[in-house]
Structure 1
Amino acid sequence: MPRAKRAKQYRKLMGQFSMTFGFREPYQVLIDADFIAEANKCKMDLIPRLEGILHGQVKPLITQCSMRHLYNRKSEPGVEAAIEQAKAHFERRRCGHHPDEYPEPLSALECVCSVVDPKDNGVNKHRYICAINDEELRANLRQITGTPLLFIRRSVMIMEPMATVSAKARSKDERSKFRAELKTPASKRKREDEDDDDEKEGSAPSGAATGAEKPEKKKKRSHGQKEPNPLAVKKKKSKSSSDEQGPKTSKAQNATVMGESEPAEGPKRKRRRKHKSQATATSDEAFGAAGVAGNATVEVSTVGGDD
């Protein structure tokens, strides 16, 4: 399987464990002696590799019995480096198997199972992630609900898919959540109906006191266009233009009422300069016209005197 595809699968798997069983960072990784010895044999940087597999911060743990197993295998190559790493970077998980009571350390099967499931009820109470290389121990841990398992094979760290017991618990939990979501809307609807009934009962006495009033019928919505298209309607004239036209019309009306008819003023004539010859000619013509008019008046007076 390609590395990117495997990483995506592991991220999804840890998301399922987090949603269903409540795993949170930093993840508590319980490591046995075989796993840490194999990691040092393969020259594997253990803590960064665990964080890459689980996609989060880790808190490595090791039991007292596992440390005693490592001390017993001190002569093997790579085990001494594993002991130094466990002492420096791993937190000691007290399993309660003291050397005074148990001169020989318990097997990894008994020790790790007692730590993961102390009450034998098949539940990973403290949410441990078990990094185990022993196949028999992994087979027993699969029966404990909500236990992620890691192991090393051919210098590759692998995370097992979710066990059958854990998958059944997850599907059961999802079904219960789904049913709860289905029930909540119906209950809300029922409460709303009850509130409506209470309001009706509370409003009945007030209506009887003021007199029986028939409830108004709801108007039916008329389908179709209610108003003309605003784009087809002419725009209204602004107030400024109407104010300017108002005084002019009032003045015209007042003029017609009072009988004042002002002559329409035409275009002004241009003044032309007259020469002296034209000025004398016009004066002579005017003088001659005045003499003719005087003679006419004399004749009229003589005629009247004869009578």
Structure 2
Amino acid sequence: MRLKKQKRHRKAVRFYTACFGFRDPFKVLCDGTFVHHLLINKITPADTQLANALGASVKIFTTRCVLAELRSLGNSYVESLNAARNLLIARCDHEKRKSAVSCITDVIGEKNSEHFFVGTQDADLRKKFQEVPGVPLIYGLRNTLFLEQPSAFQHQFVKSAEEDRSHMTKLEYKLLNVKKKNVASEEVKDSSEANEGKEDHTFGFQAMQINMRKNGGDLNDKVQFKRKRAKGPNPLSCLKKKQHGSTNKVASEKETGNGEATVRSRSRKRKRSHKSKNVSESIV
């Protein structure tokens, strides 16, 4: 059962931190009934017990009107008065003393801008704060502290606030219309400038045609642009031409030289040795 209570408390704390911007350390505003309940049921130290219930460190506050109300209740609430004097004082700006209910209501206001957790045992006050967005309520039951779950009104308030944030405000809608008008005027200006440029171009071309016709020429007779023609090779990258006369002369010289060599080789006579002749004479 204790684990389920902790889960419910963590879920409620996440709701208030995510939707209303509550931050650690949490501020708890207590009235006299809540302080008196803590003392009677010995829920002490109060800051430690509240920190365990909320899952984060806390700062406990009260008001001067609450202290004045406890003082007026007599000796039965002396201990509660002494305990409340040790708490931090929240500013209420009341010159004359008010009841604790009206004082805490004024401190919380319509939107609870100070992000207070309200600790009270007054059922009517808790029911009243259920209709105020962003007011977490803490109450005691015997020796246990409970964090009241967010009411249906608070859930509906969060849902409607999210829907409002998703739509444009009147100021944003006006700024968007002004932006659209500026863009449309710029587009019209650009298109008019483009049309003027085309008209100037066509007018100049027509004037050129008229001048050409007056001079006896025609636009089609003259070349309007220079055509690219094939160019010759780079002379520096080409080999030098060979001289055919010198090569023929060299070749003829080679041929004549070879001819003489053949003639000489043919006209050369064969040498015969006379040894065999002498041998034959001697035999005879």
TM-score w.r.t. structure 2 length? Answer: 0.55
1:62 is matched with 62
Distance 1:202 1:48 in 2: 76
Q: Which of 87, 93, 100 matches 1:108? A: 100
8 Å CA contact 1:95, 1:111 repeated in 2:
no
1:303 is matched with 276
Distance 1:177 1:111 in 2: 33
2:32 is matched with 33
The answer to whether the aligner puts 1:133 opposite 2:87 as a matched pair is: no
The answer to whether the aligner puts 1:148 opposite 2:147 as a matched pair is: no
8 Å CA contact 1:108, 1:137 repeated in 2:
no
Q: SS at the partner of 1:152?
A: strand
**Matched residue type, 1:23:** F
Distance 2:19 2:166 in 1: 14
Q: SS at the partner of 1:11?
A: helix
Correspondence 1:143-292 to 2 at 5 A: 143-179=131-167, 201=191, 204=194, 208=198
Residues 43 and 304 of structure 1: CA distance in aligned 2, closer, same or farther (over 3 Å): farther
Could you list the per-position Cα deviations for residues 256-297 of structure 1 after superposition, in whole angstroms to 9, with x for gaps in the alignment?
A: xxxxxxxxxxxxxxxxxxxxxxxxxxxxxxxxxxxxxxxxxx
Could you list the per-position Cα deviations for residues 105-163 of structure 1 after superposition, in whole angstroms to 9, with x for gaps in the alignment?
A: x443333223323xxxx443443221111111111222222211110112111111112
Residues 304 and 201 of structure 1: CA distance in aligned 2, closer, same or farther (over 3 Å): farther
Residues 170 and 86 of structure 1: CA distance in aligned 2, closer, same or farther (over 3 Å): same
TM-superposed deviation, 1:302: 2.8
Q: SS at the partner of 1:171?
A: helix
8 Å CA contact 1:95, 1:115 repeated in 2:
no
Distance 2:193 2:128 in 1: 68
**Identity, % of aligned pairs?**
21
1:86 is matched with 84
TM-score w.r.t. structure 1 length? Answer: 0.52
8 Å CA contact 1:64, 1:95 repeated in 2:
no
Question: Could you say what the CA RMSD is over the residues aligned between the two structures, in angstroms?
Answer: 3.8
Distance 1:97 1:63 in 2: 13
TM-superposed deviation, 1:64: 2.0
**Matched residue type, 1:7:** Q
Distance 1:165 1:157 in 2: 23
1:255 is matched with none
TM-superposed deviation, 1:86: 2.4
2:265 is matched with none
Q: SS at the partner of 2:42?
A: coil
Q: SS at the partner of 2:140?
A: strand
Residues 114 and 168 of structure 1: CA distance in aligned 2, closer, same or farther (over 3 Å): same
Could you list the per-position Cα deviations for residues 27-75 of structure 1 after superposition, in whole angstroms to 9, with x for gaps in the alignment?
A: 3321011111111222222112223333444332112232133334564
8 Å CA contact 2:62, 2:87 repeated in 1:
no
